[in-house]
Chains A and B, each alone.
Chain A
Amino acid sequence: MSKSFSPHWTFGAFREGVIATLPLMPGLFAFGIAFGTVAARKGFSLFEAEVMSAFVFAGVAQLIVVDAWPQELTAATIFAAATVTFVICSRFLLIGASMRPLLVSLPAVQVYPFMHFVIEPPWLLALRYQRNGGNDPGFIFGSAATCWVVWVVSIAPGFWLGATADPHRFGLDMVMPAFFTAMMVSLWPGPRRAIGWIVAGGAAILSDQLFGGFWYVVIGALAGSLVGGLTDD
């Protein structure tokens, strides 16, 4: 990200984005600790775990690839790791598409490096920010930068702990669903357009039951947005 050369975003909004992200730090931190723990258990060095977290920056994909690390690395297993990552992260295609209106005023040389930092929390916070009338991309830059720093820092304590509190027992696996639910309350579009949400949830459950894997997010989101968008007339 370049500094203040561009008139299109401001550090005021960047700061606002950082502050809006602070409440999510404990959840992100807990997730990072979980990944650090798994990486330590699988025999990675702290440096290796940190490099992966900094470059891939996708917790679920990292957890799955590290957990299923093969005995022997071949070109085929490397391709498989890339494919699994692409499928798990395919929701970012939709998220990136929906961020077009916020970022389109910026030069590509700023937008494309930034896209590396796209994850759900900054996107969700930016949606609400836009809904409340904000249009400064500095907001999402600040939020994404905060998440990245927290993510990279959080790997170390998890790694050193080696084993953490049982996430299921302490409800830590509910951090993301609870956060998503809070966001749904913020994004409530009124009963009429909420039909799309019901379709999205139903289609996701159906495809989860039928196909398994990670496609349910994509299938549910496409079905829900088509129905929600076209019943708006």
Chain B
Amino acid sequence: MIERDPFGYIMVIFAMTVAVYLTRAGGYWLMGRVTIGPRVRRVFDALPGAIIAATVAPLLLRGGVSALCAVVAAGLAMIFVRRDFAAVIVGVAVAAAVRAAGL
């Protein structure tokens, strides 16, 4: 159980809110202070895909067979059906099925 300390709780929420807001607004703010050349522009164009790849790759390695099957199935579903929701449902269902099969 937690020490009932409303002031401490409020301070933690405040500190977390400030920290997360700094990350959310900080990158945007910084981009307004820096002039962007075509080379930097291209690096930023490549950024979104790189963030996604960097997020998913270690999850795949950690998640093992079921995660790999889920992600491949989700990718295939997206290629053929072109619906995010279908891809998510297929990915989740495949993960559950593979785990139910004991892999």
A: residues with CB less than 8 A from B are: 23-24, 26-27, 42-44, 48, 51-52, 55-58, 61-62, 65, 69, 71-73, 78-79, 81-83, 85-86, 89-100, 103-104, 111-112, 115-116, 118, 123-124, 127, 168-175, 177-187, 189, 193-194, 196-205, 208, 216-230, 232
> Which residues of the partner chain A approach B51 to less than 8 Å between Cβ atoms?
91, 94-95, 200, 217, 220-221, 225
> Which residues of the partner chain A approach B32 to less than 8 Å between Cβ atoms?
100, 104
Whether, in the assembled complex, B22 has its beta carbon less than 8 Å from a beta carbon of chain A, the answer is: yes
| B71 with A200: CB separation less than 8 A | no
Which of the residues A26, A100, A200 comes within 8 Å of B54, measured between beta carbons?
A200
8 A Cβ contacts from B30-45 to A: 30-32, 39-40, 42-45
| A220 with B28: CB separation less than 8 A | no
| A78 with B11: CB separation less than 8 A | yes
| A86 with B28: CB separation less than 8 A | no
Assuming A184-B49, A224-B49, is B15 touching A81 (CB within 8 A)? yes
Which of the residues A48, A98, A201 comes within 8 Å of B56, measured between beta carbons?
A201
Residue of A nearest to B91 (CB): A178
Interface mask (B47-69 → A, CB under 8 Å = 1, otherwise 0) = 11111111111111111001100
| A96 with B24: CB separation less than 8 A | yes
| A79 with B45: CB separation less than 8 A | no
Q: What are 6 A-B pairs with beta-carbon distances under 8 A?
A: A82-B15, A93-B23, A98-B44, A174-B63, A182-B75, A187-B52
Assuming A182-B75, A185-B78, A217-B54, is B24 touching A118 (CB within 8 A)? yes
Nearest CB of chain B from residue A28's CB, rounded to whole Å = 11
| B95 with A171: CB separation less than 8 A | yes
Known: A86-B23, A197-B50, A230-B43. 4 other contacts (CB 8 A): A55-B17, A95-B48, A96-B27, A174-B66
The answer for the CA separation of A11 and B56 in the assembled complex, in Å, is: 34
> Which residues of the partner chain A approach B31 to less than 8 Å between Cβ atoms?
96-97, 100
